[in-house]
Amino acid sequence: MHIDQRRRAKLIKALARALGNEASHLRRYYWLARACGVLGGLIFSLALFSALRVGEPSGIWFAALGSTGGLLIGLAIYFGSSVQQWPVIREFINIQAVQDAARRDEL
């Protein structure tokens, strides 16, 4: 699969920033995971309460809120697994090569 040069440069710069300040990077992803999980859980529970309401058609609200809540819960899983996988992935990254590539793309 071919990646265009602008996207490649953005990915390399993001990886270089993450390697430059790992604590901040991991903390940001940790809190993103928590926020998405809490917000997704709240929205999904609203969807369930919407579906249980009587006397008012609530199918559209159930679908909209359920989809939004499910998406946020999925993002929470993604960000959480990224934090957990980072120490293993970091072992296989050539930090010097990433920094050199980031500097080349800045020129």
Tens of pLDDT, residue by residue over 31-59, are 999 999 999 999 999 888 877 776 666 67
Burial class, 66, CB count within 10 angstroms (exposed 0-12 / middle 13-18 / buried 19+): middle
Structure tokens at 77: 């899983």
Instruction: Pick the closest to residue 47 from 29, 69, 30, 32 (CA basis).
Output: 69
Other Cβ atoms within 10 Å of 35 Cβ, number: 14
Tell me the pTM: 0.81
Instruction: Pick the closest to residue 67 from 50, 55, 84 (CA basis).
Output: 50
